[in-house]
């Protein structure tokens, strides 16, 4: 008799379930990294601090080391390994690694100097990609969250070899920022948003006040730890829940209003027009009432990678208004000394341009002081200086 037919192949295994509590979105995994598993004293309690508001098994905490990060790149991103090993600064490898970790596993990445003040569950709920604004200009990568295998992170990883070497890498500061760091992630997202205008590809953009970050130019950080005044909490209620911080400045509860401030560009859920309008009104109402100290994070002492050229460039950035005024003064002074009038027309044009830029920068500073950081975050500097410069050198 003929042999019996072979048994049918077993069905393929089901896809791995997302981490508990993620609702199929961003996995509930916390990623941090350091050179070794032995954390320095100032960050030694980081795993325990995250476990307070994110207890296992609902959340998984992963501390990556240089060894495990390189193993990840070698195993899952071998095409990136030559670029990874050739980076001259460890900061570049840590930047590249955080993109790989989030792409491979999904979850939330946070620098070691970021500790939780509350659960990040409201922040992650309903999102697929979260990128934070820096309080200075543009986006940053100090804290990020994404679903596993997000296409934007693959886009970021694929661009790393292209930007590893460039003519504008004239100093350590510029090299780190524009090859792997904040400027790089900002430039890649600008390109990504142009090439993928559909709402489902957009990120939720987190304002700096909602992750508790102050500008480098503003050394006054007291508001992060200052408890709110009774007047600030009075009447701040949305959906029947009080928006204020508990007495003594304690951390807000999980259902805080922080997620309402997330500038989410993700695709809306299928709802009726009336409910969508009501939800939109609720978000804007919450944004207006949200006090700036309700952040799910608190900031500890960092370990800056900045060098001497960083201090110089940051000094120039923080004093751009004064420098513009100085340029105007020099041009006017030069015009008064130009006896043969050869350079006066050209200097006059430059002077008018410098004066216009000065007025714009001063107007921006005044608007920020009047409206506050929540409603205005360096839009003029970003529109006139930041975005054109990045487009010119990195597009």
- DSSP code per residue over 316-330: HHHTHHHHHHHHHHH
Spatial contact of 224 and 295, defined as CB atoms under 8 Å apart: yes
Q: Is the separation of the CB atoms in 127 and 107 below 8 Å? A: no
Structure tokens at 268: 């809306």
CATH topology of domain 29-299: Spore Coat Polysaccharide Biosynthesis Protein SpsA; Chain A (3.90.550)
Domain-by-domain residue ranges, the chain?
A: 29-299, 319-394
Q: Which run of H or of E encompasses 51?
A: helix 46-53
Transcribe 158-203 into DSSP letters. Answer: HHHHHHSS-TT--SHHHHHHHHTSHHHHHHHHHHHHHH--SGGGPP
What single string gives the DSSP state of each residue in 279-340?
Answer: HHHHHHHHHHH--TT--SEEE--------HHHHHHHHHHHTHHHHHHHHHHHHHHHHHH-TT
Q: Closest Cα to residue 94, out of 36, 34, 160, 159?
A: 34
What is the pLDDT tens value at each position of the chain, 395 positions in all?
Answer: 777 766 655 444 443 444 434 456 899 999 999 999 999 998 899 999 999 999 999 999 999 999 999 999 999 999 999 999 999 999 999 999 999 999 999 999 999 988 888 899 988 989 999 998 887 778 889 999 999 999 999 999 999 999 998 887 778 888 898 899 988 998 999 889 888 888 777 888 887 766 666 655 665 433 334 433 333 332 323 233 322 223 333 333 333 334 444 443 333 333 333 333 333 333 323 333 334 446 778 877 655 555 556 566 666 666 666 676 677 677 666 666 666 666 666 666 766 777 776 676 666 666 555 444 433 445 556 666 666 667 766 76
Q: What predicted TM-score, i.e. pTM, was given to this entire model?
A: 0.65
């Amino acid at each position: 008799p003929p042999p019996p037919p072979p048994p049918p192949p077993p069905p393929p295994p089901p896809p791995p379930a997302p981490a508990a509590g993620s609702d199929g979105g961003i996995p509930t995994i916390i990623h941090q990294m350091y050179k070794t598993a032995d954390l320095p004293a100032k960050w030694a309690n980081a795993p325990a601090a995250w476990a307070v508001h994110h207890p296992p098994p609902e959340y998984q905490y992963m501390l990556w080391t240089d060894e495990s990060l390189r193993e990840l790149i070698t195993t899952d991103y071998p095409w990136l390994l030559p670029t990874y090993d050739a980076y001259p600064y460890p900061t570049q490898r840590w930047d590249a690694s955080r993109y790989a970790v989030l792409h491979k596993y999904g979850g939330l990445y946070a620098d070691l100097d970021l500790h939780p003040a509350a659960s990040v569950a409201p922040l992650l709920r309903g999102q697929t990609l979260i990128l934070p604004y820096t309080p200075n200009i543009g986006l940053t990568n100090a804290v990020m969250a994404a679903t596993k295998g997000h296409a934007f992170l693959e886009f970021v990883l694929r661009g790393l070899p292209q930007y590893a070497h460039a003519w504008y890498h004239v100093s350590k500061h510029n090299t780190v920022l524009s090859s792997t760091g904040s400027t790089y992630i900002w430039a890649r997202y600008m390109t990504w948003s142009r090439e993928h205008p559909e709402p489902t590809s957009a990120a939720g953009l987190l304002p700096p006040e909602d992750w508790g970050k102050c500008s480098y130019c503003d050394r006054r950080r007291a508001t992060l730890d200052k408890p709110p005044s009774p007047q600030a909490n009075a009447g701040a209620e949305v959906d029947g829940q009080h928006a204020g911080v508990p007495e003594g400045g304690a951390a807000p509860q999980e259902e805080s209003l922080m997620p309402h401030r997330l500038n989410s560009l993700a695709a809306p859920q299928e709802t009726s027009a009336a409910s969508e309008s009501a939800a939109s009104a609720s978000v804007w109402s919450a944004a207006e009432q949200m006090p700036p100290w309700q952040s799910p994070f608190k900031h500890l002492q960092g370990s800056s990678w900045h060098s001497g050229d960083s201090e110089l460039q940051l000094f120039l950035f923080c004093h751009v208004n004064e420098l513009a005024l100085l340029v105007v003064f020099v041009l006017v002074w030069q015009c008064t000394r130009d006896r043969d009038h050869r350079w006066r027309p050209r200097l006059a044009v430059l002077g008018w341009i410098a004066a216009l830029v000065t007025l714009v920068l001063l107007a921006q500073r005044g608007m920020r002081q009047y409206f506050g950081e929540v409603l205005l975050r360096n839009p003029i500097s970003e529109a006139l200086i930041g975005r054109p410069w990045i487009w010119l050198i990195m597009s």
